[in-house]
């Protein structure tokens, strides 16, 4: 590795600020213009193709992003800076336009010292993100700037090595995305099964006979009719909800540290080591995590301690 050389990011790239799109033209109704934001970044980098915001006004065409463009988050709403400074790559798209919003930076190469794809992966490392978060401003909203990003120092291999590394990592990333797609499909199937059993009461007996449609007896309750033998209760009868705790150390370990977007990093100790459900109280509130291994959850999360074994069994279905 003697031919690897150290550079500042500012020696290699410029970061172009996004456009201040007018709020009056923001829309939740789909249009061909998708206004990107830090919410379209996964924790740990990568492009997230959900929770899009749309735009139906006029804007300069120079702020339309192209396939393969690399964008960087310049603000983050989480205390931990979950996505701050991280990179995402604009995916293949057809008949839609991704718009470069002001809270994002666009990476522009100044010279031929680096491959763009290699830089994309360099901006996904823990060392880089720790540097960005440690120099961020703001408390409720964390901010970084091009000048701070430029100061990050890293080593570059020869161009051919950069290409090889980027291709290997991109191949692994494609496989991860395929697995994520499979997981999303399995989650949809699990949701359908939950509705079938606990909403429609079509759970089956040992012979595969569904309860409701085969004449299973139901009784009245304050929530409507429920199967005979079931009862209505409150969550505090079956679980305690606890606050997570801040974990600022950045040492490597094997215990996952969860934030509202998922695993943030790994630590050397755990906060809780039994079955639990993690519930965000800030950030991405729709993300719930069912955990069966030791973990740490940060202070933007709740975690549960189950009181009854029966309720654990229900949640693990």
Same domain, yes or no: 262 and 249: yes
Quote the CA–CA distance of 299 and 278 in Å, as a whole number.
Answer: 11
Quote the CA–CA distance of 56 and 58 in Å, as a whole number.
Answer: 7
* Domain-ending residue, one of 124, 156, 188: 156
> What DSSP letter does each residue of 177-239 carry, written as one string?
HHHHHHHHHHHHHHHHHHHHHHTS---B-TT--BTGGGT--EE--TTS-EETT-----GGGTE
Q: Looking at the 3D structure of the chain, how many domains does it have?
A: 3
Same domain, yes or no: 134 and 13: yes
Burial of 191 (0-12, 13-18, 19+ CB in 10 A): exposed
* Domain-ending residue, one of 138, 156, 174: 156
Same domain, yes or no: 11 and 78: yes
Same domain, yes or no: 14 and 100: yes
117-153 residue pLDDT tens: 999 999 999 899 889 988 898 878 889 999 999 999 9
Count of Cβ atoms closer than 10 Å to residue 302 Cβ: 17
Same domain, yes or no: 29 and 128: yes
Confidence at 310, pLDDT banded by 50, 70, 90? low
List the alpha helices (DSSP H) in 65-203: 116-122, 126-134, 146-150, 159-198
Q: Identify the helix (H) or strand (E) that includes residue 312.
A: helix 309-315
Quote the CA–CA distance of 22 and 24 in Å, as a whole number.
Answer: 6
Same domain, yes or no: 224 and 259: no
Given a contact cutoff of 8 angstroms between Cβ atoms, the answer to whether 75 and 139 are in contact is no
Same domain, yes or no: 150 and 264: no
Same domain, yes or no: 224 and 268: no
Examine residue 316 and state whether it is found in any structural domain, yes or no. Answer: yes
Examine residue 165 and state whether it is found in any structural domain, yes or no. Answer: no
Provide the domain limits for residue 46: 5-156
304: CATH:
3.90.220.20
Same domain, yes or no: 83 and 102: yes
252-302 residue pLDDT tens: 789 999 988 888 888 889 999 999 999 998 877 778 899 999 999 999 899
Same domain, yes or no: 44 and 133: yes
Given a contact cutoff of 8 angstroms between Cβ atoms, the answer to whether 82 and 261 are in contact is yes
CA 184 vs. chain centroid, Å, equals 14
Of all residues in the chain, the percent with pLDDT exceeding 70 is 95
Same domain, yes or no: 82 and 139: yes
* Domain-ending residue, one of 211, 232, 253: 232
């Amino acid at each position: 590795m003697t031919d690897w050389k150290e550079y500042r990011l500012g020696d290699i790239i410029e970061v172009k600020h996004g456009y201040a799109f007018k709020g009056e033209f923001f829309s939740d109704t789909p249009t061909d213009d998708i206004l990107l934001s830090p919410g379209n970044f996964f924790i740990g980098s990568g492009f997230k193709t959900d929770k899009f915001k749309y735009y139906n006004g006029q804007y300069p065409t120079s702020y339309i992003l192209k396939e393969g463009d690399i964008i960087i988050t310049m603000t983050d709403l989480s205390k931990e800076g979950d996505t701050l400074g991280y990179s995402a790559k604009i995916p293949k798209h057809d008949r839609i336009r991704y718009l470069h919003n002001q809270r994002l930076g666009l990476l522009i190469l100044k010279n031929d010292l680096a491959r763009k794809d290699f830089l994309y992966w360099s901006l996904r490392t823990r060392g880089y993100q720790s540097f960005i978060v440690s120099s961020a401003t703001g408390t409720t909203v964390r901010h970084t700037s091009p000048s701070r990003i430029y100061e990050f120092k890293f080593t570059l291999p020869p161009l051919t090595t950069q290409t090889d590394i980027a291709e290997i990592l991109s191949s692994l990333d494609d496989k991860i995305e395929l697995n994520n797609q499979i997981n999303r499909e399995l989650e949809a199937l699990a949701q359908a099964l939950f509705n079938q059993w606990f909403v429609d009461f079509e759970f089956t007996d040992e012979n595969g006979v569904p309860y409701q449609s085969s004449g299973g007896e139901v009784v009245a309750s304050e929530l409507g009719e429920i199967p005979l033998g079931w009862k209505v209760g409150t969550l505090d009868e079956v679980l305690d909800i606890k606050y997570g705790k801040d974990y600022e150390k950045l040492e490597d370990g094997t215990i996952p540290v969860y934030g509202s977007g998922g695993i943030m990093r790994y630590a050397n100790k755990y906060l809780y080591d039994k079955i639990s459900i993690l519930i965000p109280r800030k950030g991405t509130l729709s993300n719930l995590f069912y955990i069966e291994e030791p973990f740490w959850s940060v202070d933007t999360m709740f975690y549960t301690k189950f009181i009854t074994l029966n309720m654990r069994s229900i949640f693990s279905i």
